[in-house]
Chains A and B, each alone.
Chain A
Amino acid sequence: MAEVKTPDDTDGVQIDMISAQRMEGLTSMEKIRMILDGVREGNIVILEEGLTPDEESRLIEVTMTEISPDEFNGIEIESYPQSDDDGGSFLGRLMGKDSTPKKLTVIGPADQIETLHKDETLISALVSRN
């Protein structure tokens, strides 16, 4: 019987690709918890659908509260730019709705991501195995 390896058994890097469907029913804090739990385990988290500006703000805030010397230095994050027609309707802005989340977002542990580069159509991550 083939041996099943868990992330702890390998020196590889785990990539969690989280679908928009999986994020759909979650509260903002549940999304942030899911992202940070993954990143703190050393994983690269890729969101099919990014976070709203308010969620991004809370992600930075919660990340800061969890940074700890020699344990967790924070995150690297990149998203594709928002296109002009994703900005939300006038009525939506009037009603205080957040604009449409950005497209695909990549988040990883700051101490493992050597570089995270983005242009209009490509996000490129160089990840070290520590």
Chain B
Amino acid sequence: MGLLTGLRDSISRAAASLFSEQDPKRIGIYGPPNAGKTTLANRIVRDWTEHGDAVGPESHIPHETRRARRKENVEIERNGKSVSIDIVDTPGVTTKVDYTEFLDHDMEKEDAVRRSREATEGVAEAMHWLREDVDGVIYVLDSAEDPFTQVNTMLIGIIESQDLPVLIFANKIDLEDSSVKRIRNAFPQHETVPLSALEGDNMDEVYGKIAEYFG
């Protein structure tokens, strides 16, 4: 990229952010499969919208979310700050999808193949959106799992390279093996907020941080 082209792009990005202050921010919920992204999205929507419809079905089977789903104009108010966000719940990002893994969940081959095909399309779409279509990221990790994976490192690096504001949520603190410290150690450059989206633990702080970071 040439110097002038880069400068022009930087200025237009800055101007766009100035002129879009009132628009809802598109906040992508990203993370590995089974981190609890949809459970979190559903809780946020139920807590802050009038009808409280679920964003999507929750399941212990990987890749339950195979298409990004968006809930628009979710107004969150905390500590005198408010923010209007469009929540985009994305499929769990991975570098591999093997349909045979779904056969262990009492699925027929045809259903497993269809699920894997939909999952790969969803991940590709989520990666494209990350480059083109989100204003901020909530990165959800299962605090009972090892956060030092290449996919997590790559995705956080991609988000940082886009200069997107990012909050890391250490989900599933209700589990015995949960370690928020392990996640803080993995990504010390970002604020980590502990929570249980399933149990609703620490959601006050979660909403406070969302309003603070994306407002």
Q: Which residues of B are in contact with A by a Cβ distance under 8 Å?
A: 1, 3, 6-7, 9-10, 13, 93-99, 113, 116-117, 120-121, 123-124, 127-128, 130-131, 150, 153-154, 157-158, 160-163
Tell whether, in the assembled complex, residue B96 and residue A56 are in contact, meaning their CB atoms are under 8 Å apart.
Answer: no
CA distance A93 to B54 in the complex (A): 38
Tell whether, in the assembled complex, residue B130 and residue A57 are in contact, meaning their CB atoms are under 8 Å apart.
Answer: yes
CB neighbours of A78 from chain B (8 A): 150
CB neighbours of A97 from chain B (8 A): 1, 6
Q: List 22 A-B contacts (CB under 8 A).
A: A53-B160, A54-B131, A61-B127, A62-B124, A64-B97, A64-B121, A64-B123, A65-B121, A67-B120, A69-B99, A74-B94, A76-B95, A77-B154, A94-B10, A95-B1, A95-B6, A96-B1, A97-B1, A99-B157, A102-B157, A110-B96, A110-B98
CA distance A95 to B1 in the complex (A): 9
Beyond A74-B95, A95-B1, is A69–B130 a contact (Cβ under 8 Å)? no
* A118 part of interface (Cβ distance < 8 Å): yes
CA distance A23 to B3 in the complex (A): 23
Q: Which residues of A are in contact with B by a Cβ distance under 8 Å?
A: 52-54, 56-58, 60-65, 67, 69, 73-79, 81-82, 93-99, 102, 110-111, 116, 118
6 A-B pairs with the lowest CB-CB distances in the bound complex, closest first:
A74-B96, A53-B161, A95-B6, A110-B96, A64-B124, A61-B127
CB neighbours of B97 from chain A (8 A): 64, 67, 73-74
Beyond A81-B153, A111-B98, is A99–B123 a contact (Cβ under 8 Å)? no
Taking chain B's interface residues, is the majority helix, strand, or loop, or is none over half, making it mixed? helix
Q: Apart from A57-B130, A64-B124, A95-B1, what are 7 other A-B pairs with CB-CB below 8 Å?
A: A57-B158, A64-B120, A73-B98, A81-B153, A95-B10, A111-B98, A116-B150
CB neighbours of A67 from chain B (8 A): 96-97, 116, 120
Number of A-B contacts (CB under 8 A): 93
CB neighbours of B10 from chain A (8 A): 94-96
Taking chain A's interface residues, is the majority helix, strand, or loop, or is none over half, making it mixed? mixed
CB neighbours of A69 from chain B (8 A): 99, 113, 116-117
Tell whether, in the assembled complex, residue A75 and residue B95 are in contact, meaning their CB atoms are under 8 Å apart.
Answer: yes
CB distance from B42 to the nearest CB of A (A): 25
CB neighbours of A94 from chain B (8 A): 10
CA distance A56 to B127 in the complex (A): 10
Tell whether, in the assembled complex, residue A53 and residue B128 are in contact, meaning their CB atoms are under 8 Å apart.
Answer: no
Tell whether, in the assembled complex, residue B150 and residue A79 are in contact, meaning their CB atoms are under 8 Å apart.
Answer: yes
Tell whether, in the assembled complex, residue A60 and residue B93 are in contact, meaning their CB atoms are under 8 Å apart.
Answer: yes
CA distance A75 to B120 in the complex (A): 13
Residue of B nearest to A82 (CB): B157
Tell whether, in the assembled complex, residue B6 and residue A60 are in contact, meaning their CB atoms are under 8 Å apart.
Answer: no
Tell whether, in the assembled complex, residue B98 and residue A60 are in contact, meaning their CB atoms are under 8 Å apart.
Answer: no
CA distance A55 to B161 in the complex (A): 11
CB neighbours of A98 from chain B (8 A): 161
Task: State which of A56, A62, A76, A111 has its C-beta within 8 Å of the C-beta of B158.
Answer: A56
